[in-house]
Amino acid sequence: MRLQVFCEDRLGLTRELLDILARRNIDLRGIEIDQVGIIYLNCPEVEFEEFRQLMSEIRLISGVTDVRKIQFLPAEREHRELRALLETLSDPVLSVSLNGKVDLANKAALRLIGNDEEGLIGESTNVIFPEFNFSHWLERDNASQVCRQIVIAGIDYLMEVMPVYITDSENKNVLASAVIQLKQVAMNQLPTKLYRTPGEHGFDHLVGQSSKFRSLVNQAKKFALLDAPLLIQGETGTGKEMLAKACHQRSHRAEKPFLLVNCVSMPDDAAETELFGCAPTEGREGKKGQLEQADGGTVFLYEVGEMSQHLQIKLLRFMRDGAFRRVGEEHEIKVDVRVICSTQKNLSERVAAGQFREDLYYRLNVLSLTVPPLRERPSDVQPLTELFLNQFSAELGQERPLMQQGVSDFLTQYSWPGNVRQLRNVLFRAMTQIEDGCLTKEDIQLPETEQTAFLTEESMDGSLDEIMKRYESGILSNLYRSYPSTRKLAKRLDVSHTAIANKLREYSIGKK
């Protein structure tokens, strides 16, 4: 129970109140004293008769004008009101003590950091936000508001750290705590002057938890520090360009340009001008090519397997000598550029078929990364789904939707022939269909049949055994949605229960 005692300002009055509680063996849990003559007491609940006698005894104290029961002490009410205010904010907000520990966090912060309140309260901010040294900032004589760009779970946030000052008995401002607010932003909306984490920034945007994905990222981080040519292979939509950008961002060339040349989107002469530039003529000005503009940085050759034989010869010479000539010019230009290539084709097979120069292939394939398709790493579907839903919520100005039970398994069991790009597009469309703030299976529109998807040119790469496994995995993934048990699916396909169970385990389909 909470009591509000109205009284005069008399020496010893508070002591008499406490004596009454002590005589009645009533524990005192808290006390607050208002300067205008109000004393607040926090005690355990007592029986009605004892409560009536207690109130009468308090009223008999000299100087007490009234006593009444209240619901909250002022500090309790203020704390509850502050907490209610924080919970209405859609942005994550945390309160941090002077020793750098989390004192308070709203629900948005708990959802973002992926922890419950019990686990987050008391956690060191240096563990949650390793990009910013809170201890050093808190130790400053005049800590002021700062703003940093950070990446959490692949999403860009602006982190505002605001000091909280209070006035002491000598009327001086004293730092009491700090408040952290995180605001989600798109990458193209980030202020250019913001602090950026060196080296690791690009890889922070690559999301996945499967062993295959972690192995790929670890290898890519090592290759990023080297200057040798890098060949990134993988099916369409697997994120080869993002991986190339991350490698550039981690390298010593990060402050220099990263330029892309699409080897399939332009005619041969236009592609040559785009890559190498052209000399000035009477009818047009000279133009620097991407190689020249990227001097000191990185050139990314997208789908290098589609490059014409003529361009392959010119590129081979550049890879060998580091020099090239603009179209229509005899003067040689030397540049310092790292070349990263991507392809969804099997370049070794194109070499064997005479469609790609063998000598150029070995020049480009010094370092090699292969991005596994999404169907081979189903455990990455869930974190990617969370990433895209968070991104779309910010872009569309909507609340982050909840997911109906079973949606996560539904997405994981699909084969995703279009890989990460298809998952992103499907979820974006689903966001436009959501009602009542909940994402359901009905909101997710997938092709009714995957026959054509499995017979695309990309799916035909590899040996017969690899092609058949991809096809078999797709069939089982689709049928499992309609027959979500090994026995039902075995009956549908007229095979043994053990055979289906082994196949589902092999392709990581269904519940593990």
pTM, to two decimals: 0.63
* Structure tokens that stand for 204 in this block: 């922070």
Give 10-residue mean pLDDT values along the chain (512 residues). 87 89 89 83 90 90 89 83 79 86 85 75 84 78 80 80 82 83 66 41 82 92 93 93 92 92 80 86 82 93 90 91 87 92 90 91 94 91 90 80 86 89 92 85 72 45 74 77 79 86 81 46
Which residue spans within 296-425 are E strands per DSSP?
298-302, 323-325, 332-334, 338-343, 367-371, 402-403
Please check whether residue 299 is in contact with residue 337, taking contact to mean a CB–CB distance below 8 angstroms: yes
User: Which three-class secondary structure string do you get for 20-34?
Assistant: HHHHCCCCCCEEEEE
Model pLDDT, residue 105:
86
- Residue 451: what pLDDT? 39
Helix intervals (H) in 380-431: 381-396, 407-413, 419-431
The answer to whether 480 and 486 are in contact (CB under 8 A) is no
Distance between CA atoms of residues 104 and 122, nearest Å? 9
Q: Is 285 exposed, middle or buried (0-12, 13-18, 19+ CB in 10 A)?
A: exposed
Of the candidates 230, 206, 234, 228, the one whose C-alpha atom is nearest the C-alpha of residue 218 is 206
Cα–Cα distance for residue pair 512/397, rounded to 1 Å:
36
338: β partners: 298
**Residue 270 CB burial class (10 angstroms; 0-12, 13-18, ≥19):** exposed
CATH number of 203-371: 3.40.50.300
Considering the chain, tell me which residue range(s) the CATH 3.40.50.300 domain(s) occupy. Answer: 203-371
Closest CA to 396 of 433, 445, 430, 432: 432
Q: What is the spatial distance between Cα 511 and Cα 175, in angstroms, rounded to a whole number?
A: 51
**How much is the pLDDT for 186?**
58
pLDDT of residue 79: 79
Tokens of 484: 């979500």
Q: Class of 89-189 per CATH? A: alpha beta
Residues of the chain within CATH 3.30.70.260 domain(s) are 2-76
The predicted pLDDT at position 395 comes to 79
Within a 10 A sphere around the Cβ of 257, how many other Cβ atoms? 15
Nearest CA to 98 out of 165, 24, 51 is that of 165
**Paired tokens of 332:** 């040689």
User: Among 3.40.50.1400, 3.30.1160.10, 1.10.287.3510, 1.10.8.60, what is the CATH number of 374-506?
Assistant: 1.10.8.60
pLDDT value of position 192: 42
- 2-76: which CATH architecture? 2-Layer Sandwich (3.30)
Contacts of residue 492, Cβ cutoff 8 Å, sequence gap at least 6: 479, 483
